[in-house]
C-alpha cells in the first residue's frame, strides 16, 4: 500500500535519521515525539513500501569495496584500488601503473585520441608499456603530449619519450611537441603559438578523447619557473597540488598564474575529454588527492589502498 503524503514524510524522516545520520531508535523517538516501538514500525514500513532499499555489495575483495566507496563518494565513472600494504614504494607504485595501463589498453573505450601528461606515475605507466610485446594489430588513432617537455634528468618529464614508448607498444601514431613546458616569457610563448608546430598539437588537443595524467603534491619550495609564474599566489591561496602545471587548492579551485608561460592543454579543453585517467603514487598526500578530485576533471582513478583508506575515512579534510 502506498502511504499518503503526510505518512510518507514521516517515513522519510525516520529512515533518514536512522540510516543516514546513524541515530538510535530511542533518539529518533525523542526527536519525533513518538515511542521507540513506533519508530521500529515506521522503519519496517519504510522498507516495505520502498522508501528504503538495501543493497548487498558482493565485492570479491577489500580493494573492490574501497573502490566502490571512492567511486560513489567522488562521483567517478570508475576507481581501481591496488593492494600496496607490505610492498616497497616502487613495487606499490608499479602495481598502480600496471593496473592503469591494462585498464587503458584493454578495457577503456574511446582511447583513439589519447593525451599523456608527465611525472613519476605517468613515467611508470609508459615504462610498463615498454616492457610489453607490441600489439600484433596496431590500434587506430593518435597519442600525444598534453604538456611540453622539462629539461630534467628524469625521463618521466620527457613527454615525447613517454609518448614514444606507449606508441611503440600500442601501435597508435605518435605526435610530438617540441616545445618546453615553461617559456621564459609570455612574449616567447605567444611567438611559438603562431607556429605550425603549435597548430598541429592544438588540433590534437581539440580531438582529445582520453587523458592519462598524474597527480602531484605541492613542493615545499617551488622552482624558479613556478615562482615566476605565480609569485606568492600558491602560498597565499593555499595550493595543495597540481595536475600537469595547473595548481589547485583543497576545494578544487584552480589558481590563476601571474604570468601564463606554460605550454599545456587548456583546462577548458581537458574538462571536455570523455575520460581523464589519474594515477596516484603512494606518497601523494590526501589533501592533494582530495583537491584534485574536487576539480571535477578526473573521471577514472587508480590509487593504492592505503591512500583510498585515507580519503574515505571521516576527517577534518572532508
Give the pLDDT score at 62.
80
Q: Is 119 left (phi over 0), alpha (psi -120 to 50) or beta?
A: left
C-alpha cell at 57: 555489495
Comparing CA positions, the residue from 310, 314, 312 lying closest to residue 284 is 310
* Lowest mean pLDDT segment, chosen from 35-39, 54-58, 133-137, 191-195: 54-58
- pTM > 0.85: no
Residue 217 Cα distances to 91, 200, 286, angstroms? 20, 31, 9
Comparing CA positions, the residue from 270, 294, 289 lying closest to residue 96 is 289
pLDDT band at 226 (very low <50, low <70, confident <90, very high): confident
139-193 pLDDT, tens digit per residue, is 889 999 999 987 765 677 799 999 999 999 999 999 999 999 889 899 999 999 9
Give Cβ neighbours of residue 213 (< 8 Å, ≥ 6 apart).
117, 122, 146, 243, 244, 276, 277, 278, 279
Amino acid at each position: 500500500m502506498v502511504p499518503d503524503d503526510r505518512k510518507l514524510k514521516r517515513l522519510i524522516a525516520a529512515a533518514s535519521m536512522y540510516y543516514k545520520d546513524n541515530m538510535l531508535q530511542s533518539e529518533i523517538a525523542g526527536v519525533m515525539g513518538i515511542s521507540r516501538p513506533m519508530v521500529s514500525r515506521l522503519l519496517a514500513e519504510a522498507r516495505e513500501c520502498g522508501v528504503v532499499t538495501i543493497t548487498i555489495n558482493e565485492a570479491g575483495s577489500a580493494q573492490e569495496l574501497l573502490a566502490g566507496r571512492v567511486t560513489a563518494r567522488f562521483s567517478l565513472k570508475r576507481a581501481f584500488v591496488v593492494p600496496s600494504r607490505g610492498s616497497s614504494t616502487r613495487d606499490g607504485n608499479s602495481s598502480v601503473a600496471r593496473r592503469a595501463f591494462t585498464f587503458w589498453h584493454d578495457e577503456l573505450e574511446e582511447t583513439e585520441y589519447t593525451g599523456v601528461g608527465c611525472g613519476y606515475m605517468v613515467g611508470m605507466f609508459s615504462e610498463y608499456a615498454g616492457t610489453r610485446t607490441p600489439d600484433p594489430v596496431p590500434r587506430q588513432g593518435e597519442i600525444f603530449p598534453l604538456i611540453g617537455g622539462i629539461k630534467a634528468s628524469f625521463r618521466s618529464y620527457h613527454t615525447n619519450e613517454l609518448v614514444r614508448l606507449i606508441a611503440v607498444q600500442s601501435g597508435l601514431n605518435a605526435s610530438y611537441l617540441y616545445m618546453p613546458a615553461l617559456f621564459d616569457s609570455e612574449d616567447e610563448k605567444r611567438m611559438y603559438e603562431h607556429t605550425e608546430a603549435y597548430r598541429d598539437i592544438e588540433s590534437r588537443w581539440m580531438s582529445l578523447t582520453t587523458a592519462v595524467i598524474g597527480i602531484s603534491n605541492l613542493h615545499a619550495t617551488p622552482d624558479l619557473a613556478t615562482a615566476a609564474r605565480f609569485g606568492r599566489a600558491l602560498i597565499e591561496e593555499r595550493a595543495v597540488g597540481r595536475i600537469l602545471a595547473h595548481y589547485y587548492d583543497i576545494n578544487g579551485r584552480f589558481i590563476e598564474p601571474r604570468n601564463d608561460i606554460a605550454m599545456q592543454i587548456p583546462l577548458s579543453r581537458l574538462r571536455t575529454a570523455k575520460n581523464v585517467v589519474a594515477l596516484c603514487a603512494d606518497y601523494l598526500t590526501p589533501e592533494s588527492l582530495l583537491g584534485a578530485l574536487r576539480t571535477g576533471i578526473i573521471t577514472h582513478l587508480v590509487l593504492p589502498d592505503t591512500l583510498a583508506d585515507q580519503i574515505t575515512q571521516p576527517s577534518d579534510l572532508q
